[in-house]
């Protein structure tokens, strides 16, 4: 069974949005995922606590647990999931004959997620967000927050917070829309130090609408140490992106396929 996963040894520039009043579990920035649809991101990666059988968002955008191969049975809370395991949260894939089908994690109650309809992006929505929305290449950047590496996504409308420095990827690397399809184009260069923030400084970015997708250490395989981030889409099909960047790809029914989940909610136009 093939499943679509969203990977990344991530990259980008930054952008700020006009903010609405704060909604629980929500980053205020508006992000286009198609020509007609905008979304808001959750305030952190999804987590599940076994003892209470509850989902929650991480307290901070840079919080990750990862490392499923290290005493997982002793961990009460985890943040790497098998594909579509919303109704049966688990860190391993079901066998093909068990009938693994996609159930969106966003259909379940989330303790600090408010009364909202959360969902997982499709592969085409990830692609539009990263590469195709207006000014896309200026709305992405590598960064490090509280010593956690990852990617910064800026909302469609961005105003730089006063007193906060930001270095865009396009000011540092020769990158174009087409070069994102070139395999391993950033493999030898760690660009995350370009934008390094402590918690207080990042809070200014977040208040302006910026999203951070942290590297999740060992998401793709329990046998590999990966300096990249891997995030699920909900789509059972393959899409080709540069393999050291961010891309949905085709998975397999093996227990090594576990990824981070970052949910969104649709912005309803009045």
Q: How far apart are CA 184 and CA 128, in angstroms?
A: 20
**Residues 93-98: contacts with CB under 8 Å, at least 24 apart:** 93/253, 93/254, 93/255, 93/256, 93/257, 93/258, 94/253, 95/253, 96/1, 96/253
pLDDT by residue (tens digit) across 154-179? 999 999 999 999 887 777 666 555 55
pTM (predicted TM-score): 0.82
- List, for residues 199-225, the tens digit of each pLDDT value: 999 999 999 999 999 887 544 433 333
How far apart, in Å, are the Cα atoms of 51 and each of 45, 54, 67, 73, 101? 19, 8, 19, 12, 25
Q: Is 171 helix (H, G, I), strand (E, B) or coil?
A: helix
Using the predicted structure, report yes or no on whether residue 253 has a pLDDT greater than 70: no
What is the overall mean pLDDT for the chain? 76
State yes or no: pLDDT of 245 exceeds 60: no
CB 17 within 8 A of CB 29: yes
Q: Which of 118, 136, 116, 135 is nearest to 126 (CA)?
A: 136
């Amino acid at each position: 069974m093939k499943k679509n996963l969203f990977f990344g040894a991530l990259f980008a520039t930054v952008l700020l949005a006009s903010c609405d009043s704060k909604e629980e579990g929500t980053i205020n920035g508006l992000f286009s995922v198609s020509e007609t649809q905008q979304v808001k991101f959750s305030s952190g990666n999804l987590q599940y606590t076994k003892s209470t059988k509850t989902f929650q968002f991480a307290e901070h955008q840079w919080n990750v647990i990862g490392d499923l191969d290290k005493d997982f049975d002793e961990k009460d809370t985890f943040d790497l999931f098998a594909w579509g395991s919303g109704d049966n949260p688990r860190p391993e894939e079901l066998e093909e004959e068990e009938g693994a089908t996609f159930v969106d994690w966003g259909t379940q109650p989330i303790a600090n997620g408010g009364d909202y309809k959360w969902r997982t992006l499709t592969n085409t929505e990830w692609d539009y967000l990263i590469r195709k929305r207006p000014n896309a290449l200026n709305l992405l950047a590598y960064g490090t927050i509280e010593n956690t590496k990852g990617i910064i996504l800026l909302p469609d409308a961005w105003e730089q917070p006063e007193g906060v420095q930001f270095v865009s990827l396009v000011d540092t690397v020769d990158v174009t829309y087409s070069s994102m399809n070139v395999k391993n184009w950033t493999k030898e260069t760690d660009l995350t130090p370009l934008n390094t923030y402590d918690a207080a400084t990042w809070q200014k970015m977040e208040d302006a609408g910026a999203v951070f997708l942290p590297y999740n250490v060992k998401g793709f395989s329990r046998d590999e140490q990966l300096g990249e981030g891997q995030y699920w889409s909900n789509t059972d099909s393959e899409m080709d992106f540069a393999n050291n960047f961010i891309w949905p790809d085709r998975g397999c029914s093996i227990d090594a396929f576990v990824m981070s989940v970052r949910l969104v909610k649709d912005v309803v136009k009045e």
